[in-house]
Structure 1
Amino acid sequence: MRPKLVLRFTCEKQSTLSLENRQKYNLWSEKNHSRGSVLYPPVQLHKYDDHVVVDNGIFSITIASPEGTVTSISYNGIDNILNDRNEKSDRGYWDVNWSDPSNLKDGRLDKLTGKYLDVIVNNENQVELSFKRPWTFAQEKNHVSLNIDKRFIVLRGSSGFYSYGIFERLRGWPDVDIYQGRIVFKLEDKLFRYMAVSDQRQRVMPTFQDRDKGKPLAFPEAVLLTHPSNSLLRGEVDDKYQYSSENKDNRVHGWICSDPPVGFWMITPSNEFRNGGPVKQDLTSHAGPVTLSMFFSTHYAGTDLGMKFRDGEPWKKVFGPVFIYLNSVTTEDSPLSLWDDAKVEMEMQTNSWPYHFPNSSDYPRAHQRGLVSGQLVIRDVVLAFADSAFVGLAPPGTIGSWQEESKGYQFWTRTDEKGYFEIENVRPGYYHLYAWVPGYIGEYMYRSIIYVLQGSRINMGLLIHKPPRNGPTVWEIGVPDRTAAEFYVPEPNPTLMNQLYASQTTESFRQYGLWDRYTDLYPDQDLVYTVGVSDYASDWFFAHVNRNVGNMTYVPTTWTVLFDLEDVITGNYTIQLALASATAAELQIRINDVGGVSPLFTTKLIGRDNAIARHGIHGLYWLYSINVVHSHLRAGKNALYLTQTRGSSPFSGVMYDYIRLERPPRY
């Protein structure tokens, strides 16, 4: 074991520095220990019959061999940060959810247990271990049809370890559907009770035992805490989806132990291997205490985001590396300062991407990657710079296909105030360039395929995005930003609250049970919105849901938009309808004839993103341009009727992003 004095000095040395100086210190020390400096003890690998231990003098990690599951992490006087009351296979592990597509009810969990260990690197500065499991046809019904290579890296002087995985399918292998892949760490609940996901989302959390004693609510993830070990949590709702985050914001999260003051953090320095693009939502940390690294899932999107392999399709992808960071402060310092330190570490890890130390030819280094740049402008009513636009490279497809992309890599950035963008560290490959701009409907796609070569620097020049528009705006509801955040989010049922969001306005939509608040506000008649009089921030409910008429029976609802027209111009009007979410929904539109047998328009059955139930303010984005013949309208008062026809569930419904009526153009 490491000398305790060395460990303690290292932790205290870093914690007493200011954040600015700590950055300089770490950059300096990284430069030195990467050259073999004796500033830190050497990394040591100890091999035993059924496990290995890697110790770098700051922490030690024990991994079952050849399974590749983390059974123990020893740090700062804590013998095991993980919950050692769990089975050894249920402490720190990789897993995937998969199914046989020939059996729709066949859902399986595979913990990707390794079959043999390869020591890739073993020297005083680095240990890299590979736990492999090759797939054979003899394993067809027991394991997902993937070759698995799970890797762990410990560096000299690093207060944490890295993990990444290489998943591969060979040509001719059987069909399979894969829905989720992740790393899970289950921490010691007697130590880690305080969770931090962002600056605003931090709190003392319940344990698994607290949840087991609670009252189940509308779905298994949501529990009313009735007998928690911490009495301050009694009467609150706990649901892991209340702590979800968009990929672009899901960069660091984890837990704090107050005695001794220690932090455990999941840091994701790049989103290139995650699925669904920058605003795809996924889980972070949640009650347990549990910390996750979600590489891909169908959360907030539905099974369309799953990876479906057919006809022997070959495939390979590298997930990670992610960094599991350990930090500590002296007992005189506030344990909450560990969060600020973790954010600094996250920035440093992000700035170090792509890493130089992973030893796999499947992970390209910085010099093996490319760069794509350009400028995006908007041609709508006027010509404008695409300020703060999302611009990304994703596998070739159609407009919006990146939302449902899981097999390939994606690289996203934001434009500056003049629309300039630079996408760095792009893996060699074929891509389409996609973009969307907050404040405008639709999205841009560069039609030609972009081939990024090793070391290439591609300047796309000036790109012009023409958002969908057929005529001048008559009226509009909302802000086209792909979320329903600007609409009215009600107060939660006071008996079903999460106090974390009680005083927040920006994320109050994360409260449980808001779908039933529509019935409380509109018990007999549905929402009526009058253009020019109503305010969408207070008069437009954030989700178009069904009404609860008692005995858990839900019926469809029809919302009405009243508007006046001074006159009606001959020609075609257009309704631009942008949806921020849809779950088992069918939205029908009628104008001036609420009882008409045939609607003017129907989406038909759409959506499986489940964002209403999972406290998300958006799921997948849908855009419809609906033609309205002028004879449907009249001078004076008009009514637009929006009916969500699927009424069997509290969670069937849509969230609107934006609605606009356009009149015919005048040439």
Structure 2
Amino acid sequence: MMMRKKVVMSSSQHKRRRQWSSCSCLVGWFGIMLQLMLLTECAVITTNQNITKKGNNDQESYPPVRLHRLRNRVVMENGLVSITLSVPAGEVIGIQYNGIQNLLEANKLDNRGYWDIVWQHPESRENIIDKMEGTNCRVIMEDESQVEISFTRTFDDSADKRHVPLNIDKRFILLRGSCGFYSYGIFERLEGWPDVDLIQGRIVFKLDEKLFTYMAISDERQRIMPTPEDREKGQPLAYPEAVLLTDPSNSFLRGEVDDKYQYSCDNNKCWVHGWICPNPATGFWMITPNIEFKTAGPVKQDLTSHVGPTVLSMFFSTHYAGESLEISFRNGEPWKKVFGPVMIYLNSVSQDDDPLKLWADAKGQMLLEGESWPYDFVLSEDYPFAHQRGRVGGRLLVQDSYISESLITGNSAYVGLAAPGEAGSWQTENKGYQFWTQADEEGYFVIKNIRPGNYSLYAWVPGFLGDYKYENYIIITPGSRIVVGNLVYQPPRYGPTLWEIGIPERTALEFFIPDPNPKLLNQLYSVDQAQKYRQYGLWDRYTELYPTQDLVFTVGVDNYQTDWFFAHVTRLSGNHYVPTTWTIVFDLQLTDASAIYMLQLALASACEAELQVRINNPDPGALYFTTNLIGKDNSIARHGIHGLYWLYYIQVPGTLLTNGTNSIFLTQTRGGLPWRGVMYDYIRLEGPPPNS
């Protein structure tokens, strides 16, 4: 008879930045409880129920929505905001709000509010920017409660070769009583169309720089910003995006570095960002109510807002990932996908109020938009409403007998649905939709509002190596409620832990991040030490700390939080950046020469790197393992603490080890640039299994 293992709290053997909760595997009770969760609105994440959305309960108290048709433009207005769009291009050329005639920049009409795509012909690999101008304008709906307008362009292979081979449908929606508007796009390829690589797709708003001077991305990341002119007068640094402000209009900013990549954000944290105009006190915000349409899962990083003042909604890009996230179509592959809707939210306060209240209000609106997803007012047949979607619920447990004889709860596990593939394939999946949640402290999860389709269920658990994939497909039909029950993840494990460096949570955040060069500061991250890794030029601090000899880490003596540099980068030697070799020194007792040991090596990032491993012999001819050339995520240069996740299992014969002091040499062999290298997530040496 098979015995059911109980679930217990984790052993103190592994000190992790997580908390385990004890619970019992009462499958029957669990099934009843989860069924109730799936049949009702109960969910893992709680929301604020005390906020009432403007315009939902009291729409009649607001003026009706009106659509005005002019010669080469249309104007949507609802008494609160007025939006002017060019016809037939479908670009936002004017936003009137709070007594301001136009919130957008006064320069070119086609450079104010627009969609664009960066794409390539596969044979030429030349980046082409397509502003996606429409050729036809159609009113989808027009009444006192709502206006929805569609701007379309149909692909014509005989027309301009700089048009991306897609059918484009850009839509804009204005609702009664709404302080803002919505936009979404539908991209389509028909069977047999030309090969193409899509590099980046987004919606962009360029605001009036004389009005908008204060940017906010999160509670911790907000400040008065430099102007485009400040950047133009500044000193260019190692790449065009980074500029040292030498003569800014605001003297407080003198000597700081500005770089748009310093304001990047993970998908699952990028819900609202934007700018504040102090006089009259006005906010302009990009709200992303859901990330189902974004590529590569919840921890993919991308741009937000930056100097311009510019506000972005990035739908897909290769940022922090490289070529593996290009959306490539070959052999006439068809495709269709809806991106958005996102909300452009506007708010204001009286001149007697603190303008920073606008940020708090924008966060409240973000919560309301998230609660309203999927929207019930979107009029494309390609956007399913709530009753046309499904749910999946279950519980994730972890089985690692070297930590505990009992099952461990999947506390805070990331659980998601994405296109069928191998375990971990979701992080480079870029054509379909993804649906993610985080489990609670006992491992329970519910994924709601899933579009109909065929998916695989994936997961990963902070504190454990590797990726989980459920063995069966998840087929979602309209209204489906699926309970997968108790899922057990067995993370990669060969034998008992002999030593470990770091925490397996897919970032390098726990390692030593140095103070930046005081001449290359961004004061924002001098205050917010938790994100100190976003400072410019940290890669060169390695050379300053290790000018002649590379890092040596002694297990049991050194502390990875203070003695393990956050990125394995090159060293500046003269005028050249040269490869570096890090050494791990450890003692090993009672080595069994006939046994096999296992080196688990997890990387949080890789950029044009090759990591070679040697055991007890640093000679180049003693190479034991190499990753070969990997990665183009550029996370080191772009101030990310992670890119794509890489995991290697390296078998080490006991014949290569000695009874006593041993050394593992890790060489990053690619030089030439300061940001070629890797970030480690976690390293663990495991001994032979008992009785092996």
User: What is the letter of the counterpart of residue 585 of structure 2?
Assistant: L
Quote how far apart the aligned CAs of 1:503 are. 2.5
Q: 2:177 aligns with which of 157, 160, 171?
A: 157
Cα deviation for residue 397 of structure 1 reads: 0.9
SS in 1 for 2:341: strand
Find the partner of 2:488 among 464, 489, 493: 464
Change (3 A) 1:140 1:170: farther
Q: Which of the residues 111, 116, 122 maps onto 1:95?
A: 116
| SS of residue paired to 1:403 | helix
Distance 2:244 2:374 in 1: 43
* Number of the residue aligned with 2:267: 247
Match among 642, 652, 669 for residue 645 of structure 1:
669
- Does residue 604 (structure 1) correspond to residue 604 (structure 2)? The answer is no
Tell me if the contact between 2:65 and 2:147 (Cα under 8 Å) persists in the aligned partners: yes
Residue 15 (structure 1) aligns with: none
Alignment gaps of 5+ in structure 2: 1-47
Structure 2 residue corresponding to 1:261, chosen from 269, 272, 281: 281
RMSD (Å) for aligned C-alpha atoms = 1.0
1:17 aligned partner: none
Superposition TM-score, scaled by structure 1 size: 0.95
Alignment match, 1:663: 687
- Give the equivalent residue in structure 2 for 1:358: 378
Q: Distance in 2 between matches of 1:655 and 1:257?
A: 39
Q: Which residue of 2 aligns with 1:479?
A: 503
Q: 1:51 aligns with which of 64, 73, 78?
A: 73
Q: Is the 8 A contact 2:55 2:178 kept in 1?
A: no
Kept in 2, the 8 Å contact 1:130–1:150? The answer is: yes
Higher RCO (CA 8 Å, separation ≥ 6 residues): 2
Aligned residue in 2 for 1:19: none
2:257 matched residue in structure 1: 237
2:195 corresponds to: 175
The equivalent residue for 2:577 is 554
Question: CA contact under 8 A between 2:204 and 2:313: conserved in structure 1?
Answer: yes
Give 1:224 shift.
0.5
Match for residue 30 of structure 1? 56
Distance 2:160 2:564 in 1: 51
Partners of 1:93 and 1:111 within 8 A in 2: yes
How far apart are 1:24 and its partner, in Å?
Answer: 5.0
What 5-or-longer segments of structure 1 have no aligned partner?
1-21
Q: 2:101 aligns with which of 58, 79, 92?
A: 79
1:177-202 deviation per Cα after TM superposition (whole angstroms, max 9, x unaligned): 00100000000000100000000000
Asked if the contact 1:206/1:230 (under 8 Å) is kept, the reply is yes
**Partners of 1:258 and 1:27 in 2: how far apart?**
25
- Choose which of 126, 129, 143 in structure 1 pairs with 2:163: 143
Q: Name the aligned partner's letter for residue 219 of structure 2.
A: D
Q: How big is the shift at 1:578?
A: 0.2
Match runs of 1:440-459 below 5 Å: 440-459=464-483
- 8 Å CA contact retained: 1:436, 1:443: yes
* Alpha-carbon distance, 1:27 to partner: 3.5
> Corresponding residue for 2:562?
538
Instruction: Quote how far apart the aligned CAs of 1:227 are.
Output: 1.5
Please say if residues 413 and 423 of structure 1, whose CA atoms lie closer than 8 Å, have aligned partners that are also in contact.
Answer: yes
Deviation at 1:400, TM superposition (A): 1.4
Task: Give the C-alpha shift of residue 452 in structure 1.
Answer: 0.7
- Residue type of the alignment partner of 1:251: W
After superposition, the Cα gap between the structure-2 partners of 1:226 and 1:101, relative to the gap in structure 1 and judged at 3 Å, is same
Letter of the 1:557 partner, please give it.
Answer: T
Q: Deviations over 1:227-278 (max 9, x none)?
A: 2111111110000000000000000000001100000000000000001100
Q: Which runs of 4+ in 1 moved over 3 A?
A: 22-29
Distance 1:350 1:75 in 2: 24
Partner residue, 2:33: none
Q: 1:200 to 1:378 in 2, by over 3 A?
A: same
Cα distance, 1:649 vs. partner? 1.1
In structure 2, the partner of 1:18 is none
Deviation, 1:566, is 1.6
In 2: Cα distance, 1:139 partner to 1:438 partner? 50
Match of 1:565 in 2: 588
| Structure 2 residue matching 1:348: 3-state secondary structure | helix
Alignment of 1:273-292 (within 5 A): 273-292=293-312
Are residues 1:62 and 2:62 paired? no
1:137 Cα deviation from its structure 2 partner:
1.1
Q: Which residue, out of 376, 382, 387, partners 2:396?
A: 376
What is the deviation of 1:139? Answer: 2.6
* Kept in 2: contact 1:23–1:344 (CA 8 A): no
CA offsets per residue over residues 370-396 of structure 1, 9 Å max, x none?
001111100013220100000000001
- Cα deviation digits, residues 19-62 of structure 1 (max 9, x gap): xxx975734741332xxx2x000000000111001110001010
C-alpha distance in 2 between matches for 1:455 and 1:313: 29
For 1:79 and 1:573, locate their aligned partners in 2 and report how far apart those are by CA, in whole Å.
70
Q: Offset of 1:571 from its aligned partner?
A: 1.1
| Deviates further, 22-31 or 318-327 | 22-31
Letter in 2 for 1:32: D
Partner of 1:317: 337
Matched, 1:583 2:607: yes
Write the letter of the residue equivalent to 2:470: Y
